[in-house]
């Protein structure tokens, strides 16, 4: 790869990074912390997907990953650019995505689950991977919930979506233990 096409742009060497439309912020800025937490969640779900023996579950987890990419894009724009982002063609999480998660929750809750031992994850690799994703989801949720107090508005559907994804991951982990 040539120097002009290098991933190492060096623009962040001073501890700053760019938000979606170019505004520079510190790498420990609350929005960057939130985007980073969702990036970690995306990777954790990728690990859970890779360890799952169930093709249907893999497909469902991949849809969540695609939703997370959309969520990260939305969080990566400055408050001053929220309207611009809303009008953009970028994918956004909305009621259809929330309904998909709700349907998955209902399906998971309809199955008999083993609930003993859930406080000590690790019954098997797929369950442990889902529990790691669940804890990453809760961390990302905490970063998301903190944004309004830092001056960054968050659409209410995002709070609902992330809360339910972590609930779903918990249920999927219990099902993987059964």
In sequence order, what are the residues at sequence separation of 6 or more whose Cβ sits closer than 8 angstroms to the Cβ of residue 37?
Answer: 136, 139, 140, 142, 143, 144
How many beta carbons lie within 10 A of that of residue 109, not counting itself? 11
Q: What is the pLDDT of residues 43-93, one digit of tens each?
A: 999 999 999 999 999 999 999 999 999 999 999 999 999 999 999 999 999
pTM of the model: 0.89
Tell which wins on pLDDT, 46 or 8: 46
Q: What is the pLDDT of residues 90-126, one digit of tens each?
A: 999 999 999 999 999 999 999 988 777 667 888 899 9
Is the predicted pLDDT of residue 3 greater than 60, yes or no?
no
What's the CATH code of the domain at 156? 1.20.1200.10
Percent over 90 (pLDDT), the chain: 76
Give the domain range for residue 169: 3-177
Average of pLDDT values for 1-6? 61
- The whole-number pLDDT of residue 4 equals 63
Is the predicted pLDDT of residue 34 greater than 60, yes or no?
yes
Average of pLDDT values for 171-177? 94
Query: How many folded domains does the chain comprise?
Result: 1
CA distance 45 to 58: 9
């Amino acid at each position: 790869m040539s120097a002009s096409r290098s991933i190492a742009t060096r623009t962040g060497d001073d501890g700053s990074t760019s938000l979606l439309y170019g505004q520079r912020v510190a790498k420990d800025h609350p929005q960057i912390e939130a985007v980073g937490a969702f990036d970690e969640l995306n990777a954790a779900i990728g690990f859970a997907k890779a360890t799952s023996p169930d093709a249907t579950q893999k497909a469902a987890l991949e849809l969540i990953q695609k939703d997370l990419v959309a969520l990260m894009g939305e969080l990566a724009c400055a408050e001053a650019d929220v309207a611009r982002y809303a009008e953009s063609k970028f994918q956004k999480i909305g009621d259809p995505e929330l309904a998909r998660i709700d349907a998955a929750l209902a399906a998971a809750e309809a199955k008999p689950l083993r609930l003993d031992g859930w406080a000590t994850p690790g019954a098997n690799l797929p369950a442990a991977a889902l529990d790691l994703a669940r804890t990453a989801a809760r961390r990302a949720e905490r970063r998301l919930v903190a944004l309004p107090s830092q001056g960054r508005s968050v659409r209410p559907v995002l709070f609902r979506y992330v809360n339910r994804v972590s609930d779903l991951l918990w249920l999927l982990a219990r099902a993987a233990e059964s």
